[in-house]
């Protein structure tokens, strides 16, 4: 019970350290020309910046004339100079509307995403605003299989090496683990090759190198297993005195097993280096992922090695045999307890980073795969507890329990296989929390419905509004009415309503220009289903100044009891140029909050004095606070906003050269 309490404390403690939303799969962040831009003269090239490094080889940018459908991109897609950017040259084009349709392949994990946006040259009408939805094709079976084999091989190799080095009885025959290491090596090699074949010609070079390293580590595992007396190892073995070496305080060290452990760790490292955590580019997230993979391997691979050890022990006829086995079970239980505490902490922290709502666990494919994992982990933990609390003590008391131990470890092994398949589906899917091609994308859960509001562009004027309505995993088709009511927070501009039409099952779309002025808008959505009461909720959407369209608006901050929408004027700040930072403070009822003291502190490429906000309801309307910033150096700034002493929130500000 005390151990359980420690695990629970670790998980809860970890959950407190949650950080913001993650991104994975290469998604559109901004472009030049911007989405919905109106240009005076034709661009010579299109540049798009994504949320993670794209690989030019597997990516495509098409520039299409909306009138004729003709393609105007010339030459291949190349890096744009920005680490996350791509560019394509554009032929001579005249006035008119154009659609840019892009496909991006992540350089990190090879996952593909698609999307599109429009721009217009001259005074003509804006071309039809393209679909807001961006698509990530479903993962292939080959990818899931390749991941599952890789992960099982890594876990078996690493877990076995750890088990024989640190858990098994000192005298265990080194040939014992050979079979397990050999199977592990074969699984890792086969899994890596499958993933390479799955990528085919579009295999990003970096991913190719990583999978190559993983396959090599697999070969090492297999080689170490089949050649305990390999010629190459002979000198080492000679020095080591037949495979056992004494190194000062470390005690005896077995080089063969150390090599297997190193190969397992190297293979685990390649998993982290091609994971969503790495695509995110955050060291913290990568460390969590690496800890997760290592601890998962020590536990799951260790259980299989324990099973093997028990099977090979042959019998536990005497009380002596039973006691020896009991000692091994005890040592394993201790390492398994530490490993499970680590893996659950790291897993839960990652999960919070990848999910938008807790409901994602049953309302998105990614969440369902995660939920399957969590439930099965709980079952495996229960069985593990049985080993620890029941069979272990019996064995140590000299009572036979070998059959029960074999049955339980086999059951655990079976569960682990399903967990690893679930983890493979999980890592192949796009997590729910990720930036979308729309300027605004928020999800709310109201009266049993999941409502996702997408607003195509961040600027004032004509726009497309999409509401995706789901009940559980199923889209809610055929609603009697879906409508949007627009009111401005800062000024009384009356109310406008747009009625949406169903574009696809559960996807309701309206076009129009209800947001005439830049500032903060409340969109009340009304969903009327036959025979049910209307479901209504409010989304608060920042609308940026004209010309600022296309840049992804930051999601609102939660500071104390308030929702705070932060935006800048100009929308894309330039280094050294004065800029205004606006913060609109909205209460729980969606109404503006006046008379607060707002304070901003800056951390970034250079030092910047903190600022206090001024309120100017006569000019800007109530609830809008203004910071005048003299000019910032180029780079990414973290602006921490405090409202009195009610709370703080962080806003990320990118200043270009």
456 binds, among Cu ion, ligand HEM, none (CB under 5 to 8 A by kind): none
Q: Count residues binding ligand HEM (CB under 6 A).
A: 29
Residue 25 in contact with Cu ion, rule: CB under 5 A:
yes
Name the residue nearer to ligand HEM (CB basis): 346 or 600. 346
Closest CA to 178 of 214, 223, 231, 215: 223
Torsion of CA 379, 384, 390, 394, to 10 degrees: 150
Name the residue nearer to Cu ion (CB basis): 111 or 468. 111
434 binds, among Cu ion, ligand HEM, none (CB under 5 to 8 A by kind): none
Closest CA to 53 of 90, 23, 89: 23
Beta strands per DSSP E along 529-621: 535-543, 557-559, 562-569, 579-586, 598-603, 611-612, 614-615
Run of H or E residues at 460 = none
Name the residue nearer to ligand HEM (CB basis): 206 or 373. 373
Residue 373 in contact with ligand HEM, rule: CB under 6 A:
yes
Could you tell me the CA-to-CA distances from 37 to 28, 31, 79, 283, 480 in Å, in that order?
15, 10, 22, 35, 35
Among 374, 379, 385, 418, which residue sits at the site for ligand HEM (rule: CB under 6 A)? 374
Closest CA to 242 of 175, 158, 309: 175
Among 31, 116, 199, 275, which residue sits at the site for ligand HEM (rule: CB under 6 A)? 275
Residue 106 in contact with ligand HEM, rule: CB under 6 A:
no
109 binds, among Cu ion, ligand HEM, none (CB under 5 to 8 A by kind): Cu ion
- On whether the CB atoms of residues 574 and 649 are closer than 8 A, the answer is no
Among 180, 291, 310, 348, which residue sits at the site for ligand HEM (rule: CB under 6 A)? 348
Q: Count residues binding Cu ion (CB under 5 A).
A: 4
| CA 23 remoteness from chain centre | 5
Residue 300 in contact with ligand HEM, rule: CB under 6 A:
yes
420 binds, among ligand HEM, Cu ion, none (CB under 5 to 8 A by kind): ligand HEM
Q: How far is the CB of 76 from Cu ion (least distance, A)?
A: 23
Name the residue nearer to ligand HEM (CB basis): 343 or 581. 343
Contacts (CB under 6 A) with ligand HEM, residues 588-607? none
25 binds, among ligand HEM, Cu ion, none (CB under 5 to 8 A by kind): Cu ion
Contacts for 362-366: CB closer than 8 Å, 24+ residues apart: 362/472, 362/473, 363/450, 363/470, 363/472, 363/473, 364/432, 364/473, 365/425, 365/429, 365/473, 366/426, 366/429, 366/430, 366/431, 366/432
Residue 95 and residue 25: Cα distance in Å, rounded?
Answer: 34
Residue 419 in contact with ligand HEM, rule: CB under 6 A:
yes
DSSP assignment of 113-177 equals EEEEEEEEESSSPPPPPPPS--B-PPPPHHHHHHHHHHHHHHHHHHHHHHIIIIIS-TT--TTTT
Residue 210 in contact with ligand HEM, rule: CB under 6 A:
no
343 binds, among ligand HEM, Cu ion, none (CB under 5 to 8 A by kind): ligand HEM
Site string for ligand HEM, 145-184 (x = CB under 6 A): ------x---------------------------------
335 binds, among ligand HEM, Cu ion, none (CB under 5 to 8 A by kind): none
Residue 236 and residue 233: Cα distance in Å, rounded?
Answer: 5
| CA 551 remoteness from chain centre | 21
Q: Which residue is nearest to Cu ion (CB)?
A: 111
Contacts for 585 with CB less than 8 Å, ≥ 6 apart:
559, 562, 563, 564, 592, 593, 596, 598, 623, 625, 643
Name the residue nearer to ligand HEM (CB basis): 213 or 313. 213
Contacts for 158 with CB less than 8 Å, ≥ 6 apart:
261, 264, 265, 267, 268, 294, 297, 298, 301
Name the residue nearer to ligand HEM (CB basis): 279 or 439. 279
Among 108, 280, 293, 489, which residue sits at the site for ligand HEM (rule: CB under 6 A)? 293
Beta bridge partners of 453: 442, 467
With contacts defined by CB under 5 A, name the span among 19-27, 67-75, 476-484, 568-576 that binds Cu ion: 19-27
Residue 272 in contact with ligand HEM, rule: CB under 6 A:
yes
Residue 630 in 3-state DSSP?
Answer: coil
Site string for Cu ion, 101-130 (x = CB under 5 A): --------x-x-------------------
Name the residue nearer to ligand HEM (CB basis): 186 or 336. 336
Question: Interface with ligand HEM by CB under 6 A: which residues?
Answer: 24, 151, 271-272, 275-276, 289, 292-293, 296, 300, 343-344, 347-348, 350-351, 354, 370, 373-374, 377, 416, 419-420, 423, 426-427, 431
Question: Interface with Cu ion by CB under 5 A: which residues?
Answer: 24-25, 109, 111
């Amino acid at each position: 019970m005390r151990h359980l309490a420690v695990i629970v404390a670790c998980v809860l403690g970890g959950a407190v350290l949650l950080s913001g939303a993650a991104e994975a799969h290469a998604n559109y962040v901004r472009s030049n020309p911007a989405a919905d831009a109106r240009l005076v003269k034709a661009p010579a090239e299109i540049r798009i910046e994504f949320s993670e490094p794209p690989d030019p080889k597997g990516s495509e940018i098409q520039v299409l004339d909306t009138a004729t459908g003709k393609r105007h991109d010339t030459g291949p897609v190349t890096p744009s100079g920005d680490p996350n950017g791509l560019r394509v040259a554009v032929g001579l084009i005249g006035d008119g509307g154009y659609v840019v349709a892009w496909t991006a392949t992540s350089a990190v994990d090879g996952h593909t995403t698609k999307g599109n946006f429009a721009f217009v040259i001259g005074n003509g009408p804006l071309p039809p605003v393209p679909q807001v939805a961006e698509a990530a094709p479903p993962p292939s079976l080959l990818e899931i299989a390749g991941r599952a084999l890789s992960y099982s091989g890594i876990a078996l190799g690493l877990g076995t090496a750890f088990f024989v080095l640190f858990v098994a009885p000192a005298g265990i025959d080194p040939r014992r683990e050979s079979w397990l290491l050999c199977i592990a090596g074969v699984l890792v090699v086969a899994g890596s090759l499958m993933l390479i074949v799955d990528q085919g010609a579009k295999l990003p070079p970096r991913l190719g190198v990583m999978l190559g390293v993983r396959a090599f580590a697999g070969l090492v595992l297999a080689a170490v297993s089949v050649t305990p007396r390999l010629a190459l190892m002979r000198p080492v073995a000679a020095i080591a005195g037949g495979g056992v070496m004494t190194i000062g305080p470390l005690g005896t060290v077995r080089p063969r097993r150390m090599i297997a452990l190193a190969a397992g760790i190297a293979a685990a490292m390649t998993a982290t280096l091609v994971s969503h955590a790495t695509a995110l580019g955050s060291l913290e997230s990568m460390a969590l992922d690496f800890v997760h993979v290592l601890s998962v391997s020590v536990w799951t691979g260790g259980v299989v090695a324990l099973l093997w050890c028990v099977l090979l022990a042959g019998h536990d006829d005497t009380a002596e045999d039973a006691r020896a086995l009991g000692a091994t079970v005890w040592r394993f239980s201790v390492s398994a307890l530490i490993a499970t505490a680590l893996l659950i902490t790291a897993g839960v922290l990652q999960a919070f980073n990848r999910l938008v709502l807790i409901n994602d666990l049953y309302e998105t494919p990614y969440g369902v795969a995660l939920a399957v994992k969590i439930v099965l982990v709980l079952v495996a933990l229960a069985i593990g507890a049985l080993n620890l609390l029941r069979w272990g003590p019996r064995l140590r008391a000299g009572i036979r329990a070998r059959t029960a131990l074999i049955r339980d470890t086999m059951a655990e092994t079976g569960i682990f296989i399903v967990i690893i398949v679930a983890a493979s589906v999980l890592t192949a899917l796009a997590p729910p929390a990720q930036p979308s091609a729309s300027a605004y994308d928020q999800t709310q859960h109201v009266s049993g419905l999941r409502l996702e509001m997408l607003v195509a562009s961040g600027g004032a004027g004509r726009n497309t509004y999409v509401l995706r309505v789901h009940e559980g995993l199923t889209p809610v088709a055929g609603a009697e009415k879906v409508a949007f009511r627009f009111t401005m927070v800062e000024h009384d501009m009356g109310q406008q309503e747009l009625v949406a039409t169903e574009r696809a099952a559960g996807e309701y779309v309206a076009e129009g220009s209800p947001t005439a002025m830049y500032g903060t808008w409340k969109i009340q959505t009304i969903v009327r289903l036959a025979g049910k009461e209307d479901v209504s909720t409010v989304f608060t959407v920042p609308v940026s100044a004209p010309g600022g369209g296309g840049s992804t608006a930051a999601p609102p901050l939660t500071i104390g009891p308030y929702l705070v929408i932060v935006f800048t004027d100009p929308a894309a700040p330039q280094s050294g140029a004065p800029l205004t930072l606006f913060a609109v403070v909205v209460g729980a009822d969606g109404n503006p909050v006046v008379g607060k003291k707002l304070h901003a502190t800056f951390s970034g490429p250079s030092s910047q004095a903190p600022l206090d906000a001024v309120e100017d309801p006569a000019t800007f309307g109530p609830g809008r606070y203004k910071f005048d910033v003299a000019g910032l150096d180029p780079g990414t700034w973290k602006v921490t906003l405090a409202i009195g002493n009610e709370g703080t929130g962080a806003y990320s500000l990118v200043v270009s050269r």
